[in-house]
Structure 1
Amino acid sequence: MIPSPLSLTELKALVRTVPDFPKPGIQFRDITTLIGDGAGLSSSIHHLAKIARAKGAQKIAGMEARGFIFGAAVAVQLGIGFVPVRKPGKLPIKTIGIDYTLEYGTDRLEIDPDAIADGERVVIVDDLIATGGTAIASAKLLRMAGALVEDAVFVIDLPDLGGTDRLHEEGVTVSTLIDFEGQ
């Protein structure tokens, strides 16, 4: 733990913007620079954990792969369990899964159905909310397993892509540390 967490403004300054990736006109928000900075990573976890604690998290769920970085660290800081939301075929046990639509096709997420107790309050943690498709699918999947999913916490919001609004429509409150306007 760092003595004094960085401010949200300082965290935002650690996110690298890569113009025209993956295609012209897109401003890609790269967290590699934030997680590569010890104070930045530690401060991000501190701020995310503070929000998740206030939401009454009993477990944290994170989506593969960057959600594992932030979610597992938040769970450790809170002293609670972590539920990995996996890509298909990654777990060696019987899983439950959900197929969902992306802008470019479909994908699938899976979890261990025994990872969550009925009615357990699970907070989703991830690096970024864009269109919200993966987060919505994760909330639905966790609910299928019996979780109470009312909150999701992200480092970055790209509000112009509408993911936060879509999650709200699914009954999930969204909290973010920083946002970037535009695409």
Structure 2
Amino acid sequence: MEEFKDDIELVKSNINSYPDFPKSGILFRDIFSIFNNPKAAKVLDSVLLRYVKKIVPQTDVVVALESRGFLFGPTLALEMGVPFVPVRKKGKLPGIVYQKSYALEYGTDILEIQASSIQRGQKVLIVDDLIATGGTLEASCQLVRQCGGEVLQCLVVMELQDLKGKEKVSAQVESFIKF
């Protein structure tokens, strides 16, 4: 990650924080704020693509988590020439879906993936903006495996280290910015 250090510092300097959002006691790190600086947004896209091409070039499918993972997943998939698959909250995907309930830092929810979206044995990269408690990423790993895919890695832009979310995820998790 040393090779990305200067680029990551630019991105980190453009991430705003909001105390007590969405509820008291939560410090919300807002990935959307980087899009106020087109250079920072472009640098982040470049870092993600360079990292993926170098570390997980054997990726067959990019999966991204609703909703902020969608900022990065489709672009990565297009640049790599592989399919993009969304993981969404309950009731947002048509057809036959697999579901997984999970806990997050301020409640619980259910994620879904279309059952036919990943073929048995495909190598999958899971992308999101942030890992906090790890519940969302772990639920996504389980959904990918239920489809028959192999999770190569989970890639997130930000990690809230104090919450130890990586410890709860059954796949390797790589993060660029640590808070």
Q: Which TM class, normalised by the smaller chain length?
A: 0.7 to 0.9
Give the CA deviation at 1:23: 4.2
**Runs of 4+ off more than 6 Å:** none
CA offset digits 1:27-83 (Å, max 9, x no partner): 321112113322222221221222223212111101111111111111122121111
Aligned-partner Cα distance in 1 for 2:21–2:147: 36
Give the CA deviation at 1:92: 2.0
Q: Which ranges in structure 1 are unaligned for 5 or more consecutive residues?
A: 1-5
Question: Given the superposition, is the C-alpha separation of residues 18 and 101 from structure 1 closer, same or farther in structure 2, using an over 3 Å criterion?
Answer: closer
Match for residue 48 of structure 2?
A: 48
Match for residue 29 of structure 2?
A: 29
Match for residue 116 of structure 1?
A: 118
Most deviating of 15-24 and 43-52: 15-24
Check the 8 A contact 2:7/2:44 in 1, yes or no: no
Give the CA deviation at 1:150: 3.0
Give the CA deviation at 1:161: 0.8
Check the 8 A contact 1:85/1:110 in 2, yes or no: yes
- The alignment's C-alpha RMSD in Å is 1.7
Match for residue 150 of structure 1?
A: 152
Q: Percent identity?
A: 40
Aligned-partner Cα distance in 2 for 1:50–1:29: 24
Aligned-partner Cα distance in 1 for 2:51–2:76: 10
CA offset digits 1:97-127 (Å, max 9, x no partner): 1122345543211111111111111011000
Most deviating of 39-48 and 146-155: 39-48
Give the CA deviation at 1:20: 3.4
Given the two structures, how large is their TM-score scaled by the length of structure 2?
A: 0.88
Most deviating of 32-41 and 128-137: 32-41
Most deviating of 35-44 and 56-65: 35-44
Q: Which ranges in structure 2 are unaligned for 5 or more consecutive residues?
A: 1-5
